A and B are shown apart, each in its own frame.
Chain A
Amino acid sequence: KVGPAPALTKQPLEGLTTASTFVLDQPRCVFKDFGNAVIWLVVALAKDAPAFNNSAGPGTPETAFQSFPEPVSAYMTLNATLGSYPCIEPPRDITVLRVGSETSCAKDVSRPTCNGPLPGPGPYRVKFLALEGSVPVAETDWSMPITLRTAKSPSSLSTAGSGHSAGMIAITAILSILLAILLAALVAMLVFCSSDSCGSSTFSKPDSVSVRRYNTHHVYDQAAARL
């Protein structure tokens, strides 16, 4: 047994886990003593991990990706030699392994070591296995269970408004009050002033400076009396 168990990468990636893929750190400097070995990734459902037999060969129907998870309980993929995982960490490259990235061979039974998209949310456990020929020489521990994302249906989204904002309530309330006051004042003005009790002496019209003529009984009598 060697090295640290595989784990989801610590790099900040948006696609760390999606519905059918996840991203692991590369096993750099883990298998450095096994220069001749081919390093495989074993993927299994978490419940089937302990039952995996290291002597199962890659590329056989018993470990074919296309038959995962029924009846194959664990498949082997992403084979690489030690040259792919050198000990020196390149400063700026992203050194990760994306499990589930090959969609072209997902249904192609002639490629049993396909790194195809995972069929469900898991949880899955993975480990690295180094084989020299068909003899397992080194392995890592099984990883912690990795659960993928499940998508909800959009009909679960509630599109009801989040209630009314304070601004809208303020506008409605204040305008309603103002309109009510205006209508009340209009009605009061019409009722009050229809009984001739306003406009008597407060304001005068700008051009009403006329003197009324007073014809009394006297004037007519006097005129008649003179004649």
Chain B
Amino acid sequence: MAKSDDCMHILQGLLVFGNVVIGMCGIALTAECIYVVSNPHGAYPLLKATENSDIHAAAWIGIFVGLALFALSILGIIGVIKASRTLLLVYIILMVITFAFEMASSITAATHQDSLTPNVFLKQMLERYQKSDPNNNSDNEVTKTWDELMHQNHCCGVNGPSDWQEYTSAFRGTHSDADYPWPRACCVLDAKGLPVNLDGCKLGVAGYYNRNGCYDAMSGPVNAHAWGVAWFGFAILCWTFCVLLGTMFYWSGIEY
């Protein structure tokens, strides 16, 4: 019996340790998802305009899952120490449900990130940038966001200024190609917001226009948020899986 007692103590210790880690990770997940939800990056209005804000759904689920994990881990620690069959059964069932929710959140975040290809932003930019309809607030948001993006990151278009040449756009409809091969926001601007050298910008002389595309600057923060939610959730779930299997084995060995 001594040997079983040792096994039991070791398993209890491992389970308590596992639950402590789950509790801490739950808090961390909640903190991370609150950060993602409350800290929209500069390109967030563009994401909103694509009507694809799955990342927010995933983050909201993540907040609640994190809190649930913390609460359940406390329940688990109590159940393991008292070796109570009922407590542990409740713990296991609730944990499986939480596992399923976190799985949904993680997969949603990963899928969302895949769906944001450059073409999505390119099409939106071509169709809505400087679309001169003063009643449409969403288009004005898109225009303002793009202007700020191009100004702050010294970039032009999604892939480069050639976007404006290769495709027709709402912008092209109101601005002639000879005067505006690309928007003025693509030019290097001085402190007053005027192009440093307008002819140089129109010709495309290096140094007077922004040559790079904005996709890298945009997708960086978006990807960071999505991968943070997706992969951290995945890591927590792998650890939870092990702890749950251990708990089931422990539960099946408790005398009642």
Q: Are A and B associated in one complex?
A: yes
Where the two chains meet, the residues of A that have a C-beta atom closer than 8 Å to any C-beta of B are 12-16, 18-21, 23, 94, 96, 98, 100-103, 116-117, 149, 151-155, 157-159, 161-165, 167-168, 171-172, 174-176, 178-179, 181-183, 185-186, 189, 192-193, 198-206, 208
Instruction: Give Cα A205–Cα B227 distance, bound, in whole angstroms.
Output: 44
Given A152-B166, A154-B122, A168-B110, decide whether A13 and B245 contact each other with a Cβ distance below 8 A: no
Question: Please, which residue of chain B has its CB at the minimum distance from the CB of A151?
Answer: B168
Which of chain B's residues have a CB closer than 8 A to the CB of A158?
119
Instruction: Give Cα A202–Cα B5 distance, bound, in whole angstroms.
Output: 9
Instruction: Give Cα A199–Cα B253 distance, bound, in whole angstroms.
Output: 4
- Check A151 against B166 for contact (C-beta < 8 Å): yes
Select which of B96, B114, B200 is within 8 A of A161 by beta carbon.
Answer: B114
Which of chain A's residues have a CB closer than 8 A to the CB of B252?
189, 192-193, 198-199
* Minimum CB–CB distance for B232 against chain A, Å: 11
* Minimum CB–CB distance for B104 against chain A, Å: 9
* Minimum CB–CB distance for B230 against chain A, Å: 6
Q: Is B181 an interface residue (CB 8 A)?
A: yes
Q: Is B172 an interface residue (CB 8 A)?
A: yes
Q: Is B8 an interface residue (CB 8 A)?
A: yes
- Check B114 against A152 for contact (C-beta < 8 Å): no
Q: Is B190 an interface residue (CB 8 A)?
A: no
Which of chain A's residues have a CB closer than 8 A to the CB of B92?
186, 189
Which of chain B's residues have a CB closer than 8 A to the CB of A165?
110, 113-114
Which of chain B's residues have a CB closer than 8 A to the CB of A162?
114, 117
Select which of B106, B166, B237, B256 is within 8 A of A199 by beta carbon.
Answer: B256
Which interface residue of A12, A174, A183, A185 has the most chain B CB atoms within 10 A? A185
15 more CB-based (< 8 A) A-B contacts, given A151-B167, A202-B253: A94-B200, A94-B203, A98-B203, A152-B167, A152-B168, A154-B123, A154-B126, A159-B119, A175-B106, A182-B99, A186-B93, A198-B252, A203-B250, A203-B254, A204-B1
Which of chain B's residues have a CB closer than 8 A to the CB of A103?
176, 178-179
Question: Please, which residue of chain B has its CB at the minimum distance from the CB of A177?
Answer: B241
Q: Is B115 an interface residue (CB 8 A)?
A: yes
* Minimum CB–CB distance for B211 against chain A, Å: 7
Question: Please, which residue of chain A has its CB at the minimum distance from the CB of B121?
Answer: A159
Q: What range describes how many residues of B lie at the interface?
A: 35 or more
Which of chain A's residues have a CB closer than 8 A to the CB of B172?
151
Q: Is B194 an interface residue (CB 8 A)?
A: no
- Check B255 against A200 for contact (C-beta < 8 Å): yes
Q: Is B120 an interface residue (CB 8 A)?
A: yes
- Check A178 against B241 for contact (C-beta < 8 Å): yes
* Minimum CB–CB distance for B109 against chain A, Å: 9
- Chain A interface, >50% SS class: loop
- Check A13 against B123 for contact (C-beta < 8 Å): no
List 10 tightest A-B contacts by C-beta distance, closest first.
A14-B204, A15-B204, A117-B178, A168-B110, A154-B126, A202-B253, A19-B177, A151-B168, A198-B252, A13-B204
Which of chain B's residues have a CB closer than 8 A to the CB of A167?
110, 227, 230-231
- Check B253 against A20 for contact (C-beta < 8 Å): no
Given A159-B117, A161-B114, A179-B103, decide whether A153 and B204 contact each other with a Cβ distance below 8 A: no
Q: Is B234 an interface residue (CB 8 A)?
A: yes
- Check A199 against B168 for contact (C-beta < 8 Å): no
* Minimum CB–CB distance for B93 against chain A, Å: 7
Q: Is B70 an interface residue (CB 8 A)?
A: no
Instruction: Give Cα A55–Cα B182 distance, bound, in whole angstroms.
Output: 39
Given A18-B177, A154-B126, decide whether A171 and B106 contact each other with a Cβ distance below 8 A: yes
Which of chain B's residues have a CB closer than 8 A to the CB of A18?
165, 177-178, 181
Q: Is B148 an interface residue (CB 8 A)?
A: no
- Check B203 against A23 for contact (C-beta < 8 Å): yes
- Check B253 against A117 for contact (C-beta < 8 Å): no
Which of chain A's residues have a CB closer than 8 A to the CB of B78?
none
A-B contact pairs, 7 of them (CB 8 A): A14-B181, A154-B169, A159-B119, A159-B120, A161-B114, A171-B107, A182-B244
Q: Mark B203-219, 1 if CB is under 8 A from A, else 0.
A: 11110010100000000
Which residues 80-104 of B have a CB within 8 angstroms of A?
Answer: 83, 85, 92-93, 96, 99-100, 103
